[in-house]
Amino acid sequence: MMDQSVQVNQKENPFLSEVTQASGEKIQACFQCQKCSAGCPIAYAMDILPNQMLRHIQYDHREKVLTSKTIWICASCYTCSVRCPNNIDITRIMDTLRNLSIRSGVEPGEKDIPVFHNVFLDTIKTRGRIHELSLILQFKSKTKDFLKDAGLGWKMFRKGKIKILPSRFGGGKEIQEIFNAFEKGERR
């Protein structure tokens, strides 16, 4: 059978090598059938469609990819991955791109989403578990959008869905050990 993969010299394309290595996925196998984008429930809101994303990586467009909205609004639903005829796990690649975007320190294409992830991880680090009310309040204190969903919050509170105090338990220390090891760079 004819090899239909895009022929790009990886030596002249550091970004393709970087993403291929970090994700373990064969990005060059994409032949642009666009099945990923056709099935993506969020494609309508993306600035770069999933199939275009793979092409940009093949062409070494590092900054365009890492500053895109797409990598952040991808909901990780795996529809693209299961439908790719070349078995490329596109959802996994999106994770790799988000990780790279954070590590490269570029301005993210979506403002609030990476902030939310940070607050979420901070909450795990301090408490070991997610206490939803603390998470929401901390996120709101960063985005300054206190009115959004305030009515809904009150409704949920009255239904007994919002727990006021976090649970007490002993696993928190071990979680801090993990975070500390990562911050010191011992676990990479």
Helix spans in the chain (H) = 14-23, 35-39, 50-58, 62-66, 70-73, 79-83, 90-104, 112-127, 132-143, 150-158, 172-183
Q: Which two tokens stand for residue 185?
A: 């760079």
Binders of other proteins among residues 71 to 90 (CB under 8 A) are: 73, 75-79, 81-82, 89
- 47 part of the interface to other proteins, by CB under 8 A: no
DSSP 11: G
- 146 part of the interface to other proteins, by CB under 8 A: no
8 A C-beta contact, residue 100 and residue 22 = yes
- 91 part of the interface to other proteins, by CB under 8 A: yes
The angle, 0 to 180 degrees and rounded to 10, between the axes of the packed helices 112-127 and 132-143 is 140
Beta carbon of residue 53, minimum distance to other proteins (angstroms, whole number): 16
Question: Binding other proteins by CB under 8 A: which of 152, 165, 184, 185?
Answer: 152
- 105 part of the interface to other proteins, by CB under 8 A: no
Residue at token pair 């570029």: 106
Beta carbon of residue 85, minimum distance to other proteins (angstroms, whole number): 14
- 52 part of the interface to other proteins, by CB under 8 A: no
- 98 part of the interface to other proteins, by CB under 8 A: yes
Please state the separation of Cα 22 from the chain's center in Å. 14
Please state the separation of Cα 60 from the chain's center in Å. 20
Which residues in this chain contact other proteins in the complex, by CB under 8 A? 41-42, 44-45, 73, 75-79, 81-82, 89, 91, 95-96, 98-99, 102, 110, 112-114, 116-118, 120-121, 124, 128-133, 136, 139, 148-149, 152, 155-156, 159-163, 167, 169-172, 174-175, 177-179, 181-182, 187-188
